[in-house]
Amino acid sequence: MKQALSNPVLIKEIKLRFRSMKSFTGIIFYLLAMCVFVFGFIMLTTSFTGTGYFRPEESFFMFTMLTYIQLGLILFITPGLTAGAISTEREKQTLNILLTTAQTSFQIITGKLTSSIAFLLLLLVAGLPIYSLVFLFGGVSPGQLGIIFLFFFLTMLAVGGIGIMYSTIIRKTIVAMIATYGTMIFLAGVTGFIYLVITGMNTMATGSLATSPAPIAHFFASINPVVLILTLIMPTQSDDFITQTTNIDFPIWAGYTIFYIFITVCSILIAVKKLRVNMKKMR
């Protein structure tokens, strides 16, 4: 049982990543940047209002800004950590050696993916004490923060899976990174734009909010991480607005969960299947 659960690739990747001074330097600068933002925001807000205290509404706004900063961190850093996981080994000509070991393709792919996700989780956990400052001023519940972090984790898995998949099927690291970042731009930006265009066209055609169901608009809103975070931060107002504009009463979080779990599983399966196929083609 112990041998079945052991993954030498994961152990090696974690040791290399977490023993590097570059990784911990990055964490330190990230925490310093968050501290500067949080304490600077508190000082500026209390100075401008002249009240000398931080209100719950201002704490909620700061929490919203921190949440979107964390989302941007996930969408920006995850492709850089995963899109070169396999292609870098191929470029260094070490992938052939790795494939001659007793490790299965699944162990290699999951080991590379898990080590990258572990580093990102460390970043999120390291920032929790700064996040927890909002509880001192009110406006945010611990349960709301927990749900947001669960969806952060799901997003990391999906983005990491996409990066690993591109890294496996594309031989060049730079091309794999471009493809991964392009996919992230589509999911985080283009889907929201398509949602706004469809709902805007429906409003112009009818002169009011949607009177007939708009499943395409609702689907693109459901897979957009920016829209999801907005619905988690302000659940009542955001859900009501999306329901009114699409005329579909289906939770955004449910559609997001189903879609991104599907994307994660498919990406990992494709990467596992194509890992050794590419090596046969190179021969």
Predicted confidence at residue 51, as pLDDT, reads 61
All structural domains of the chain with their residue ranges:
7-282
- 268: Cβ–Cβ under 8 A, 6 or more apart, which residues? 109, 110, 113, 161, 164, 165
Predicted confidence at residue 274, as pLDDT, reads 87
pLDDT along the chain (283 residues), means of 10: 60 79 83 84 73 71 86 88 86 82 85 88 85 74 85 93 92 91 92 87 63 80 91 78 80 92 94 72 46
Predicted confidence at residue 4, as pLDDT, reads 42
Report the alpha-carbon distance of residue 281 to residue 175 in Å, rounded.
Answer: 19
Helical segments of 50-141, H only? 56-82, 87-91, 95-99, 105-126, 128-131, 134-137
Return the residue matching tokens 């599983």: 265
60, 171, 278 from 165: Cα distances, Å: 37, 11, 12
Predicted confidence at residue 1, as pLDDT, reads 36
